[in-house]
Structure 1
């Protein structure tokens, strides 16, 4: 039940509670402050009417207590009763006392005013025209509007934190985002005791050593607290350990503030701690598998031969961890090609690398001159392909393979990459027809046809069709004059004459098998070449 305080000094809104000052400002003008104890910034928890002589056992700190004066009408010294009553309220952490006029009093008793001044409790006079229920209703309205504002700001804060994580310096940006939204200073300390990032006016590292010692020596999720003397006065200091999945302390986040944080502010702190924990795991324990895998393959490339099954199993386990898996399984090689040169991210290679690691859920990513290559356990479904294409990229998606087949899978993907660059659309290796024409593609095939058959394609339509028909039939009959003559209904000498004429026109020796094979492939793309000719 919290609300954001108004922006101060032009800085962004900070998450805070409904304060006593905000509540009093929202009340009718007839409600007046009799004693101002300077507690306008104190957060309010609730508005509670009570006519008990001692309501404190039933109160929580930060409440606004309302009374019509019944506790002061019993026998005994009125001044002493008022003093004891106010003293108990202050000890219980009550934020303010509201005194309602009528039916018992027509003015606030002087001894109650003096007691509030003596013990530092804000006292408010509530006229008979303003029922206590109206005050409770006004506080509920503030809470309701405050909750909606908090949710909006929390959503915006989370978006800000996500952008910070994807920046070139995620740890520094996260701390900067934190101190912008929560009134704290922050220091990020590594497991070696060195400061990795800081934001705000923090105390010296030497003052934090006792707290850091407790953080490094403990275990499990926890928050260590201390109070330190600073130039600005006492500061509450909170230490959050950043832990590995096996509860090893990988670092610490230390925060300092002049006052306790509200639940909404603690929510932001928890989000930052979680994100920093992910980052530090990625940098330390999360990066162990790729580095071990790389070291093993560099020093023992023969491990992939499979001659030692135990070594290969160990490498496959490391590969699974490197692609965010829990056990060995098939993986794919994915290559990304920029649709336009401007597709590269302006924030540099670090953010680009993190982007592909996130999208393909893997640490095995390489940035290349053409784009990127990744090894992923994902199936790379259509929705994932569409997401990448919306970013201005085209993909070659390889077939599933194991660790020993990765190098061959990469070579196959590399062979398909020019086709993706030319066609400007993604393709899947498993959907291809494994033939020369299937791999070549229509665009490259049309270029081949235009280059090899150009002189024939430049003839008038009738002669072109005739020569292409004879050449296609002759090549399909494996160079047999008789079979071609029978197929076309021509004399074999006529076929020989036309084939010799085509060879001379093209400048090709049709006695060579390679020349005949290339012409046969080019003939499959004649129509594509004709469509590609300029009008």
Structure 2
């Protein structure tokens, strides 16, 4: 006869293995239910069913099998009806919106669609994304899109089960679909979700061909602007995008050796959001963006999010694009040279020592350029500025300078590298060495 402890261990093992209930025959070996078994099942929360000797277990098995068969048939019938409803929704003029709305009704949950830039797309008549989950869900979507690969993941967000599926092709995703507040998907529901993902992906892929054609058209319009055919370019753009930036614009150039996934899709969406104020085009290995000053921060935010290095021109008119493109390209080369994400041409023409060697301005500009180094020396109790002076005094000869300072030449090189990082200069290049040399000389004259 098992002890109470034996019953507890037995029932615990049943629960740990996922057993949903326990049937116990009486009037066969035991006349009544053992008290220890009753207590153990009560403690473990396991349903206990007494099966009298006149009730054959085969009858119970048949009843359960019939129930499971009815449930399976009901799921199959529901799946068939749901598939038909979604297929009908796909034939409506607002196909994608109707498909997602039907999915919400079938799953009794909210469904959220995100575009290629990770922006939430509000669908009319559909349930809104819960406000308390919006920030974290959006962050998870952007992380998934930034990877640039097709993926499906099940997440816990704010205590809710969330399924996230990216849409599109590897390296060129079109968006993401998020399902929330649902139980784990059984096969029938999973089939419905997969059908919707397939239809949504197809709808988004159909727009890809149009996007490619638009990009070719953008490139043609930009070449017209460079050639001076401004009127033709404006008329062409007006028929497709509404208009082009007409007032003072900034030209931003980004190198496209290894384009970031979804950057072009994100720019297309940005251009749609600011019709007439933002225009972009691809030109050989460069990505060029024209934007009004009011929208430039949004352009830079998008480029930096995708890891792009950029150069920015001075404000210019639409008729002066060739000069502005040259300025932005020079600024881009400078950004690559010094390892910065963004460089504006104004920093080269107005802020550089070589562009301002006038006696009345050189001193203040020199101090402005060297101030970060002066502040660093004061805060860290270092003598990097004196090291630079000694380095220049010895014609940048490493060994000679190291001997004069009483340090190893590797220590000297580390100090000079630190100066370059603090000032944003590449001291391996002649131009920046001359810039720093001039700043040190004019600083001593003030």
Report the TM-score, using the length of structure 2 for normalisation: 0.45
Tell me which protein shows more helix as a share of its residues. Answer: 2
Larger radius of gyration: 1
